[in-house]
Amino acid sequence: MKVYAGLAGIPVVKSSISYIDGEKGFLEYRGIPIQELVENSSYLETSYLLVFGKLPSKDKLSRFINDIKNNLYLDDSVLKFLKDIPSSTHPMKVLQSIIPVLSSKDPNTDVLDEKHHYSSLVNLLGQVPTIIASWKRIQEGKEPVEPDPELSYSGNFLYMMRGEKPDELEERIFDKCLILHAEHTINASTFTAIVVASTLADFYSAVSSAVGSLSGRLHGGANERVFYMLSAIKDIDDIPAIIDKKLKNKERIMGFGHRVYKTYDPRAKLIKQMLQEISSIKGDSKLLKVAMEFEKVATQRLKEKRIYPNIDFYSGVLYSLFGIPPAFYTPVFAMARISGWIAHCKEYIKENKLFRPTQIYDGGHNIHYIPPEKRG
Ligand code: COA
């Protein structure tokens, strides 16, 4: 028997939700190229596509959006819970802890009943952005901003985060970012979600566990680290020496490399284009200049190993232009990924099999208990 470290290259599911060609740098959701969705769709329409398998009719989409808008408000007890959390708590930990609490107000959490999946979906899509934005305001010592259902999904989130309405460009680009983050085959957090769902725990538990998995710096947590790495660079001329030092010390360069892409991540390409669009209108940011030079030098050094920028390299740079604080970059990723996680849970439990891998035991046998006073 052989151990497959990190399950690399081992299929554990059949799925029709998304597809990556890591050699060509190609990504599809339900067979539709990501570029087409970013150009033409909205985050909520894409979410519907991911979860239900096809693009919705006009009526179905507007019902879906309404159901989400009816769930934007947090219960007073949830707000009180948020206010009682120590203010230094990282927003990913807040999200991970509070998502299961949302299930207490949802009487429809039986994962074996397909109709109940809808309830978890619209509840989570509605309330998670409000939780993230409320936590930002509470951490700043301010009152949360009430949702505005008249705004678009993305417009409302940016409004609740900042207390002022975003302009059309910000709203449109932010929504496209959510599309890019919505789904990405069976990565660590999605695998976590389906492992939890395979026990028939409800979708709130699956999503909360996935949030914990996403928070790590080898996964979604990389975007926050990229920001710190880039903003610590004082002078663009220092970049080659900084990168060489990191590589010499065998440090991972955050926002670079991917288990599946062995070429440029198509999502990183799209985010970079959006950054260029936004800065051509609003003016260049120093961080973007640093990021582009960093990318150039790091790619020269790493392309021999087929390591290129991933989505997390540029997403934080973009969010910084929207006034989103670094600790909230990964929560934005998490809120977008809810539809992907739920799509996978829904698909997996249709033919559910409890995850129970095996191990190769390499410990001892017949070792006897020694009382504390006789231990060396
Ligand atoms: N910076 C520097 N070297 C890197 C690297 C990075 N970001 N990513 C991989 N490598 C190197 C490893 O050091 C290793 O080199 P070696 O063969 O000389 O020892 C080689 O590439 C293979 O690394 P491995 O860990 O086996 O690749 P992986 O496919 O498991 O790694 C990641 C995938 C994402 C974990 C890895 O690229 C990484 O840590 N990236 C930084 C964190 C990040 O941006 N995460 C978000 C991913 S979307």
- Among 256, 264, 315, 329, name the best residue to mutate to test ligand 1's pocket (greatest count of ligand atoms within 8 A of Cβ): 256
DSSP-derived secondary structure letter, 267: H
Say which CATH class 12-215+329-351 falls into.
mainly alpha
CA angle (292, 297, 300) in 5-degree steps = 125
Strand pairing category for 26-29 and 18-21? antiparallel
The one-letter amino acid at 293: E
* Mean per-residue pLDDT, 255-269: 95
Indicate if 222-321 has the same CATH topology as 12-215+329-351. Answer: no
Residue 376: what pLDDT? 84
Residue 285: what pLDDT? 83
Residue 281: what pLDDT? 87
Rounded CA separation 19/30 (Å) = 8
pLDDT exceeds cutoff 80 at 57: yes
Tokens 């879906």 — which residue?
A: 64
- Residue 225: which pLDDT band, with cuts at 50, 70 and 90? very high
CATH code of the domain occupying 222-321? 1.10.230.10
pLDDT exceeds cutoff 90 at 279: no
The one-letter amino acid at 240: P
What does the mean pLDDT of the chain come to? 96
* Mean per-residue pLDDT, 197-213: 98
Query: Is the model's pTM score more than 0.85?
Result: yes
- What angle do the packed helices 239-248 and 286-302 form, to 10 degrees? 50
Q: Measuring CA to CA, which residue among 39, 73, 25 is closest to residue 267?
A: 25
Rounded CA separation 45/42 (Å) = 5
Mark whether 106 is an active-site residue: no
Query: pLDDT over 90 for what percent of the chain?
Result: 95
The active-site residue, picked from 175, 202, 265, 312, is: 312
Instruction: Work out whether the CA dihedral 139, 142, 146, 147 comes out positive or negative.
Output: negative
pLDDT exceeds cutoff 80 at 139: yes
Q: How far is CA 101 from CA 53, 80, 86, in A?
A: 29, 12, 17
pLDDT digit string, tens, across residues 293-316: 999 999 999 999 999 999 999 999
Domain ranges of the chain: 12-215+329-351, 222-321
Ligand 1, atom 30, residue with closest C-alpha: 259
Mark whether 258 is an active-site residue: yes
Q: How far is CA 198 from CA 211, 220, 226, 295, 357, in A?
A: 17, 23, 34, 40, 13
Ligand 1, atom 47, residue with closest C-alpha: 219
pLDDT exceeds cutoff 90 at 284: no
